[in-house]
Structure 1
Amino acid sequence: MSDTLAVVTAEPLDADTFEAFVLTSADGAVVTFRGVVRNHDHGEAVSALEYEAHPEAEGFLAACCAEVSNASGLRVAAGHRTGSLQIGDVALVASVAAPHRAEAFAACEQLVELIKQRVPIWKRQHLADGVTEWVGL
């Protein structure tokens, strides 16, 4: 059985699915990050987001999960949404389980940073004034 799970999908993300994947009876800590669509960015009101992914984005996500798992020896899972999202929707889930909390927190933070740096998924913000802008291009 693999120690990683990576999913890029237009479907809503269920954090419980990712937590169930990483958790074993040897673990005393599960750390899960949920990236949630907020109603503002850099002082501008945001009404919605769209995410577009490179066709190989899931492979990049899997590589990030594998890197963290290999370095830490922990089970790692992550999922990223694509398509149109509304305020409050979950755009990213990253989950790690470990025997102790410190290593779970550290691995989860490393995973989120790698995802933001390496996975080719682009965000288009819809601002409340009707303007749209691409972020991170």
Structure 2
Amino acid sequence: MSRFVKGLSKGPIDLQSLVNRPLSAAQALQQQESTTIQLSGRWHKDKSQSDSMQDACDVVELKWVLRRALAILNTLQIEDTPDHFRTIIKAGGIMDVVEQYPWTGQEQRHNRRDKRSGHHFGKIVKTDSGPAIV
């Protein structure tokens, strides 16, 4: 499953499974030339460029209803401010997941993304290739 997390730690130019819309040719060129990774914005999943989630669902024994919600997962919204890094994963209102991490590096507690009981803990750190949630 590390390949899914690894893909999210890269800049938008490297993410083949997400397409930031609308993006003009001039904006794309400027984004490529920029040395600062800017992830803020709304990203739409390009299913034709995405890996199957079947193996990941099998590993965590995800129930049928949640697998259907994953099938309509289509939007990732990222808000990168000087104070925090927030992700909002949209699945048509059925399985939306909001997580926010302060840039202080303080560990945060969030509900499980698969909507089962329990929590997970994470913090955000800056890396050479951009922010990474660990």
Normalising by structure 1, we get a TM-score of: 0.27
Larger helix proportion of the pair: 1
The TM-score, its normalising length taken from structure 2, stands at 0.27
**Greater strand share, 1 or 2?**
1
